[in-house]
Structure 1
Amino acid sequence: MQNFYLAAFRVFFKIGIFTLGGGYAMIPQIEAEVVNKHKWMTREEFLDLIAVAQSCPGALAVNMSVFIGYRMRKLAGAICATLGVTLPSFLIILLIAMFFHQFQDNAVVASAFNGIRPAVVALIAAPVFTLAKSARIALTNCWIPVGSALLIWLLGVNPIYVLVVAGMCGYLYGILIKPTE
């Protein structure tokens, strides 16, 4: 049996270095490795982990790596998984900081980042639909995030207000409507 600590570090390092778009874009890769390939947890446990990781402060990918590593091998597992997912970003940012002045005005670099943006949106949208399907949320409820995005983008509504109103609506829905369904 392969050493878990090294395996966790490798898995999360690979995810950290090859995924663009942050924690939400990493969810499918983490699920593929943790649930499907290594079978460190079930799909249901993974979905619960996403909910807990989202509710905690900090970066989603870091939170997920901490929880997965801790679940498997307590503190040492959490440290290995977290180092694996954070080290690539740290090293890449360090390299960029060292050489930024050499390519900050490069048109090719600017074009590459402009091309990456739509792919990152797709990488973030894919797990949203997968999670909605797994949680049995009807796709007819897509109006909520779309409406929220339009309020923020087109009308310039502060995202904090959108979150507060969405939280209040969710609370009222759970109290008033959900029990009668």
Structure 2
Amino acid sequence: YWLFGMAILAAIQTTVNFNYFITLGVCGIAFMFIERKLYWIGLFVILLELVGYGIYIGFNRAIPSPSSLGVGVAKAEPGSGPDPGHIFALGLVAGSLSFGGAYVTIPFLQAEAVTIGQWMAVSTFLDSIAIGNIVPSPLVMFSTFIGFQAGYLWGGYSIGFGFLGGLLIAVGMLFPCFLFTILGHNLLEKLVRNKFLAAFFDGISGTVVGIIAITAINLLNSSITSTTGLADVSQQDLPIILAKNSSIAAVLYILTLAALYGYKKPYLSLWLVIFGAIAGQFLFVNN
């Protein structure tokens, strides 16, 4: 139940824009003490974090902006994407985070590309997740799509630079995995046997659940209430069309969720994405 509490705490902190690294680190350290039944020390670590957050709010008279969720490794000039060096660095940081669960890279990449860098729209980010889930190794392909978009924008809408960006972020994502397992094998074996540090990683794993949950809710909200393709709609008609499209999106979401949990068939995800794309051409309207 302590890990469940960590997940709830992480969800709350993500909602009020706590930096992911701070959340993961503090919860991991706190759980190290809690696992050894040093409950008061673990709770004190969390309390220190909350006090620090309160002091921050007191000085700034506001909660942190959404940009504080990441580290800003993929910033770019307006209308462009990050340069190749920063694309590779983005992959390195995202790949290093995967030890807490591969899905933790999703909220991190969203913060870097959509919120901080602002070179990718939420709708495009959702497309990258959808495309990534119909091919092998979805998380690597999802990040490669983001790298392609970054390189494509940085190179002046060049497909060649897009492929370069995809390659760089994929290499960056995979490099920490090879580094940890090949060069650091002996060290990792010692860390795994260390119960104190094992508890640290357990705390991170529980925390990741809360971060992913809030990210999923935000993405769900964005996908259902999307205004993509409605730029030419008059302000008078916009609320009606948006309500209609949101209702259709909600129904499609429920049907897709039911299909995923009700049927365990090969290539089901692929067919759902294909039929969803076809349905979107007929169901979503802007007039």
172, 181, 194: which one aligns with 1:84 = 172
Mean CA deviation greater in 6-15 or 97-106: 97-106
Bigger helix share = 1
The Cα offsets for residues 16-71 of structure 1, whole Å up to 9 and x where unpaired, read as 2245210x2211211121122223321111111111111221141x1122212223
Runs of 4+ in 1 over 4 A off after TM superposition: none
Give aligned-pair identity as a percent: 27
Mean CA deviation greater in 35-44 or 1-10: 1-10
Q: What CA distance in whole angstroms lies between the structure 2 residues aligned with 1:100 and 1:28?
A: 26
Query: In the alignment, which residue of structure 1 is the partner of 2:90?
Result: 11
Higher Cα radius of gyration: 2
Name the SS of the counterpart of 1:164 in structure 2: coil
Q: Following superposition of structure 1 onto structure 2, how do residues 1-181 of structure 1 map, counting pairs within 5 Å?
A: 4-19=83-98, 20-22=100-102, 24-60=103-139, 62-71=140-149, 72=152, 73-136=161-224, 137=250, 148=261, 162-164=263-265
Q: What CA distance in whole angstroms lies between the structure 2 residues aligned with 1:49 and 1:68?
A: 7
Q: What CA distance in whole angstroms lies between the structure 2 residues aligned with 1:82 and 1:13?
A: 9
Q: What CA distance in whole angstroms lies between the structure 1 residues aligned with 2:220 and 2:186?
A: 41
Name the SS of the counterpart of 1:163 in structure 2: coil
Alignment: residue pair count:
158
Deviation at 1:5, TM superposition (A): 0.7
Deviation at 1:162, TM superposition (A): 4.5
Q: What CA distance in whole angstroms lies between the structure 1 residues aligned with 2:184 and 2:101?
A: 17
TM-score, normalized by length of structure 1? 0.68
- Contact kept in structure 2, 1:8 and 1:80, CA below 8 Å: yes
Deviation at 1:108, TM superposition (A): 1.0
- Contact kept in structure 2, 1:34 and 1:40, CA below 8 Å: yes
Deviation at 1:117, TM superposition (A): 2.5
Q: What CA distance in whole angstroms lies between the structure 1 residues aligned with 2:147 and 2:264?
A: 30
Deviation at 1:101, TM superposition (A): 4.1
Name the SS of the counterpart of 2:264 in structure 1: helix
Please give the root-mean-square deviation of Cα atoms over the aligned residues, in Å.
Answer: 3.7
Deviation at 1:3, TM superposition (A): 6.7
Q: 1:3–1:124: structure 2 CA closer, same or farther, 3 Å change rule?
A: closer
Q: What CA distance in whole angstroms lies between the structure 1 residues aligned with 2:111 and 2:178?
A: 24
Q: What CA distance in whole angstroms lies between the structure 2 residues aligned with 1:100 and 1:31?
A: 29
Q: What CA distance in whole angstroms lies between the structure 2 residues aligned with 1:103 and 1:126?
A: 30
Deviation at 1:96, TM superposition (A): 4.2
Q: What CA distance in whole angstroms lies between the structure 1 residues aligned with 2:126 and 2:206?
A: 26
Structure 2: where are the runs of 5+ without partners?
1-76, 153-160, 225-249, 277-282
TM-score, normalized by length of structure 2? 0.45
The Cα offsets for residues 96-119 of structure 1, whole Å up to 9 and x where unpaired, read as 423244344322133223322311
